[in-house]
Amino acid sequence: MNQGNDLKEFDDLKILGYTIGETSSYELQMISSEVPEIGEYLSIYDDEGTEILGMVENVIRGNRITNELKEYGAISKLKEFEDEDEIYTISSIKILGDTKNMQIPRRPPKPLNEIYKTPKQTLNKVFANGKLEVGKLISSDIGVSLDVNKLCSRHLAVLAITGQGKSNTISVLLEQFKKLNATVIVFDMHREYLEMESYSIDLKINPIKPKINVYNMHPDSLMNLAGVDPSASIQRSFGRRAILGLNKEHEEVEFNSVEEYINSILNRIEIYADMDEYKNKLDSLITLKMRFEDLLAYKSKITAINYNPISGIKENRINIVDISELDEESTDLIISYFSKEILKDRKKSFWNTKTANPIFIIYEEAHLVIPQNRPTKSKTPISRIAREGRKFGVGICLVSQRPKTLDQEALSQCNNFIISKIIEPKDQRYIQQASESLSEDLITQLPSLNVGEAIVLGPCLKIPALVKMNRFNGVYGGEDVMFDELWSKTENDLSDKTLGKSIFEDEEDEL
C-alpha cells in the first residue's frame, strides 16, 4: 500500500485496529484490542495516501468464550481463567470525508485496512480554524472553533432539555460574538442576559425596552393588542375604519403621545356611536371603546409613538430586549414587530449601499413564538428571516427545550445545530427530520450526554463533533437556584432582599 507523504508527516502514528466485514463509502466496522471512545476520530489512508477521517459512533465489547454461556455458575468459574486475548472490541465508524476537502471517498476502504488514531495536527486543522471558540472535543483536548460566517448565514438551533447548558452555550457565544464586534440582538424571556457579566471582556450590553409603535401597526394588530375579539366583525370593522381614517388625515409627528393617538381613535368611535344610522350597533361600539380604554390602562408600558425600534439597536454591541415581564400575547407582538422592522431595515441598507449590514438575532424559548401547531404573529416574520435573511446579512438562532413543538419549517432552515441532552424520542426524531447530518448512531448518544456536552454539526463545523462546551467565565441569569442555601438563610439575612426591580419602574416619559 502506497500511503504517500501524508503518513510521513506524523511520527507518532499507531495502528489502533483493522476494518472487518463489508465496508462502504459511508460506514465501516473496526476490530481493535484497545477500546476507543464514542466520538473519537480515526484515520484511514487509501491507496493514494489520502487521509480519510472517521468518527466512532458505537462500541461493542465481547468475549468469544462467554458469548454463548447463560449460566451464572459456569461464568463465575471461567472468571478464574479469564484471558484478555479472548476479549474483542468492535466499533462502528462513520466516514466523514477526506481531510483536505471533506469529501466522501468514491471507493470504500478495503477490508483489513489499518485504522489509526487521528493525529492532533489533523484535528487542529479540522476543528480549530473558526473564529468562535466554543469548547473542546470530548475525546481529546483539541479546541473547537466555529465558522462564524456559516453559522450566521445558515442559522443555528440550540436544543436541549432544561438544565443541560443552553444558557451557558448562549453566554459563551455572546462573549465570542463581542470579541468580533458583532451586532447581536437577544429576545430575553427570563432576564438571563440583561445583567450578564464576563470576567474576560467588557460585553457592553445595550438594554432595549420592549416597545411597539402603535401608529405603524396594522389596524388588526392594534386591535389584537387592545384585546378586540378576532371574531367580533362589527367591532373590527368600526375599529379599522377609525384607525385608517385617522392615519390618513394625520401624520405620526402630529401626535405627542400614545394617549393622544388612542384618544383620537376613541373620539371617532364616539362619533360613530352618536350617529342614528349606527344605533343598532351601539353595544358593539361601546365594547370597542372599552377595549381601547383598556389598551391605555394596561398596555401603556409597551406602546410608543414616533418610535423606531431600529434606533435603539446599537451596532457592534450585544443588544438585549428584556421581555421577561410581558404576557405571551404582548411578547408575540413585540417579537413580531421587531423582527419585521429588522429585516426591513437590513433590506433597505443592502439595497442602498449594495453591502450587507449583518445582525444575528437570538430567540429564547422559540417554541413559544414559533410553535408547530398554532398560529402566532411572530411565526411569519421569523420564518421569512429564516428563508431570506442570509441574502441581507440577518442570521437567527432558535433556542428551545421542546424541539418537537417548534415550527418544522423554521427549524429546517437552521442548518447548524448545538444539541445537548435530549431524552424524549419524539424530540430526537423531530430534530433528525430537520437535520440530514444527524445520523442514527449520533441520535442514540443524545440521552447519554452530560451537562455541558453537546453534539455540534452543520456548515459551521467541517464535520460533526461531540464537544464539551466551554464554561462561561462570568455570571448570567440561567444558572440553577441553590434552594437549600437560600432556605437556610435566616429572616434577617433576607430582609433587605427584593425579587428584583421591574424594567418599567422609573420609566421615562413616552418616546
Percent of the chain with pLDDT over 90: 59
Classify residue 335 by its DSSP letter: H
Closest to 463 in 3D by CA, of 52, 132, 32? 52
Spatial separation of the C-alpha atoms in residues 359 and 344, rounded to whole Å: 12
Report pLDDT for 79. 63
Classify residue 231 by its DSSP letter: T
Rounded to an integer, the average pLDDT of 464-485 is 85
Rounded to an integer, the average pLDDT of 67-91 is 68
Spatial separation of the C-alpha atoms in residues 221 and 234, rounded to whole Å: 16
Report pLDDT for 487. 80
Average pLDDT, the chain: 87
Q: Count Cα atoms within 13 angstroms, Cβ side, for 446.
A: 26
Spell 373-388 as b/e; 16+ CB within 10 A means b: eeebbbbebbbebbee
Do 395 and 155 form a contact (C-beta atoms < 8 A)?
yes
Instruction: Judge whether residue 279 has pLDDT over 70.
Output: yes
Report pLDDT for 502. 45
Classify residue 327 by its DSSP letter: -
* Tens digits of residue pLDDT in 137-154: 998 889 999 999 999 999
Rounded to an integer, the average pLDDT of 5-24 is 75
Report pLDDT for 101. 82
The C-alpha cell at 47 is 491507496
Report pLDDT for 503. 44
Residue 460 confidence class, pLDDT cut points 50, 70, 90:
very high
* Tens digits of residue pLDDT in 285-319: 999 999 999 999 888 888 999 998 888 999 999 99
Percent of the chain with pLDDT over 70: 88
Report pLDDT for 309. 87
88 burial (CB, 10 Å; 0-12 / 13-18 / 19+) is middle
Do 213 and 307 form a contact (C-beta atoms < 8 A)?
yes
Classify residue 138 by its DSSP letter: T
Rounded to an integer, the average pLDDT of 420-449 is 81
- Name the CATH superfamily, with its identifier, for domain 147-207+312-494: P-loop containing nucleotide triphosphate hydrolases (3.40.50.300)
Classify residue 125 by its DSSP letter: H
Instruction: Judge whether residue 431 has pLDDT over 50.
Output: yes
* Tens digits of residue pLDDT in 34-68: 899 888 999 999 888 889 999 998 899 887 766 66
Report pLDDT for 474. 93
Report pLDDT for 506. 47
CATH 3.40.50.300 domain position(s) in the chain = 147-207+312-494
Q: Which of 12-16, 380-384, 433-437 has the lowest mean pLDDT?
A: 433-437
Report pLDDT for 1. 43
Rounded to an integer, the average pLDDT of 12-40 is 89
Residue 362 confidence class, pLDDT cut points 50, 70, 90:
very high
Spatial separation of the C-alpha atoms in residues 457 and 417, rounded to whole Å: 5
Angle, alpha carbons 173-334-341 (nearest 5°): 80
* Tens digits of residue pLDDT in 198-226: 999 999 999 999 999 999 888 998 998 89
SS (H, E, C) 245-285: HHHHHCCHHHCCCHHHHHHHHHHHHHHHHHCHHHHHHHHHH
Radius of gyration, alpha carbons of the chain:
29
Instruction: Judge whether residue 3 has pLDDT over 50.
Output: no
Q: Count Cα atoms within 13 angstroms, Cβ side, for 332.
A: 19
Rounded to an integer, the average pLDDT of 99-123 is 89
Question: Which span out of 354-358, 489-493, 494-498 was modeled with the highest average pLDDT?
Answer: 354-358
Q: Which of 308-312, 346-350, 444-448, 465-469 has the lowest mean pLDDT?
A: 444-448
Report pLDDT for 499. 46
